[in-house]
A and B are shown apart, each in its own frame.
Chain A
Amino acid sequence: MTIIKTLFASMILTLGLATANAGTLDVVKERGNLICGSNTGLAGFGNPNDAGVWEGIDVDVCRAVAAAVFGDASKVEYVPLTSKVRFTSLQSGEVDMLSRNTTWTLQRDVELGLEFVGVNYYDGQGFMVRKDLGVSSATELDGASVCIQVGTTTEMNLADYFSANGMSYESIPVETNAEADAAYLAGRCDIYTTDASGLYASRAGYPDPSAHIVLPEIVSKEPLGPSVRGNDSEWADVVRWSLNAMIIAEEKGITSGNVDDMIANSPDPETQRLLGVKAGYGAWLGLSDDWAANIIRQVGNYSESFEKHIGVNTPINIARGLNALYKDGGILYAPPFR
Chain B
Amino acid sequence: MEQNFIRKLIFDEKTRALLIQTLVIGIFAVLIYLVTKQTAYNLEKRGIGTGFEFLNIAAGYDISISLIPYDSNDTHLRAYFVGLLNTLMIAVCGCFLATIMGFLVGIIRLSSNWLFRNIAYVYVEFTRNVPVLLQIILYYTILLHLPKVKQSIIIFDSFYLSNRGLFSPAPIFKDGFSVVIGSLIVMIIFTFFLKKFLKKKQELTGKQYPIFLINSALIIFIPIIFYYLMGMPLEFDHPVMKGFNFKGGMVIRPEFLGMLFGLSIYTAAFISETVRSGIISVSKCQREAAQAIGLKANFIMRLIIIPQALRVIIPPLTSQYLNLTKNSSLGIAIGYADLVHGFGGISLNQTGKAIEIMLIVMSTYLTISLTISFFMNLYNKAVQFKGNI
Contacts and interface: CB of A to CB of B under 8 A. Distances in A.
A associates with B: yes
Interface of A: 2-3, 6-7, 9-10, 13-16, 18, 20-21, 83-84, 87-88, 91, 107-108, 111-113, 133, 141-145, 150-152, 155-156, 158-160, 163, 169-175, 179, 182-183, 186-188, 190, 229-231
A152 B340 CA distance: 16
Contacts of B64: 170-172
B354 A6 contact: yes
A183 B164 CA distance: 10
Given A143-B244, A171-B63, 15 more contacts: A3-B340, A10-B358, A14-B355, A18-B42, A21-B45, A111-B352, A113-B49, A150-B349, A151-B348, A159-B71, A160-B72, A170-B245, A175-B333, A186-B163, A187-B163
B244 A163 contact: no
B341 interface: yes
Nearest to A169: B62
Contacts of B38: 14-16
Given A144-B244, A144-B245, A188-B144, A173 B346 contact: yes
A172 B335 contact: yes
B47 interface: yes
A175 B332 contact: yes
Interface string B312-353: 000000000000000001001101010011001110111010
Interface in B46-80: 46-49, 60-64, 71-72
Interface residues on chain B, size class: 35 or more
B242 interface: yes
Given A10-B358, A16-B41, A84 B349 contact: yes
Contacts of B164: 145, 188
Contact of B354 (A9, A159, A173): A9
A29 B192 CA distance: 78
Contacts of A188: 144, 163-164, 254
A9 B43 CA distance: 13
B247 interface: yes
23 contacts: A3-B340, A3-B344, A6-B354, A6-B358, A7-B358, A10-B355, A13-B39, A13-B354, A16-B41, A88-B354, A108-B352, A111-B352, A143-B242, A145-B164, A158-B62, A159-B61, A160-B60, A163-B72, A172-B335, A173-B337, A183-B144, A186-B163, A188-B254
Given A13-B355, A190-B244, A171 B62 contact: yes
Most buried by B among A3, A91, A163: A3
A127 B63 CA distance: 19
Contacts of A155: 60-62, 346
Nearest to B352: A112
B166 interface: no
Nearest to A7: B358
B35 interface: yes
Given A14-B39, A156-B61, A186 B145 contact: yes
B47 A230 contact: yes
A150 B45 contact: no
Contact of B244 (A6, A15, A145, A183): A145
B128 interface: no
Contacts of B62: 155, 158-159, 169, 171
B71 to A, nearest CB: 8
B149 interface: yes
Interface in B141-159: 144-145, 148-149
A230 to B, nearest CB: 5
Interface of A is mostly: mixed
Given A10-B358, A163-B72, A190-B244, A20 B346 contact: no
A170 to B, nearest CB: 5
A168 B243 CA distance: 12
Contacts of A151: 345-346, 348-349
Nearest to A21: B45
Interface of B: 35, 38-39, 41-43, 45-49, 60-64, 71-72, 144-145, 148-149, 163-164, 242-245, 247, 254-255, 329, 332-333, 335, 337, 340-341, 344-346, 348-350, 352, 354-355, 358
- Give me the 3 closest cross-chain CB pairs, A-B, nearest first: A159-B72, A151-B349, A113-B47
A13 B42 contact: yes
Contacts of B348: 6, 84, 151
Contacts of B340: 3
B244 A141 contact: yes
Contacts of A14: 35, 38-39, 42, 355
Nearest to A140: B243
Given A112-B48, A156-B350, A2 B332 contact: yes
Contacts of A20: 42, 45
A231 B352 contact: no
A112 B46 CA distance: 9
Contacts of A91: 46, 48
A91 B39 CA distance: 13
Nearest to A13: B42
B48 A113 contact: yes
A131 B60 CA distance: 30
Given A14-B39, A173-B335, A173-B341, A111 B243 contact: no
Given A159-B60, A159-B61, A183-B144, A84 B345 contact: yes
A108 B48 CA distance: 10
A151 B61 CA distance: 10
Nearest to B39: A14
Contacts of B45: 20-21, 231
A83 B63 CA distance: 18
A107 B352 contact: yes
A171 B60 CA distance: 13
Contacts of A18: 42
Contacts of B345: 2, 84, 150-151
Given A13-B43, A175-B332, A142 B243 contact: yes
A150 B352 contact: no
A337 B327 CA distance: 55
A183 B141 CA distance: 9
A150 B354 contact: no
A187 B149 contact: yes
A155 B341 CA distance: 13
Given A170-B245, A188-B144, A183 B358 contact: no
B218 to A, nearest CB: 42
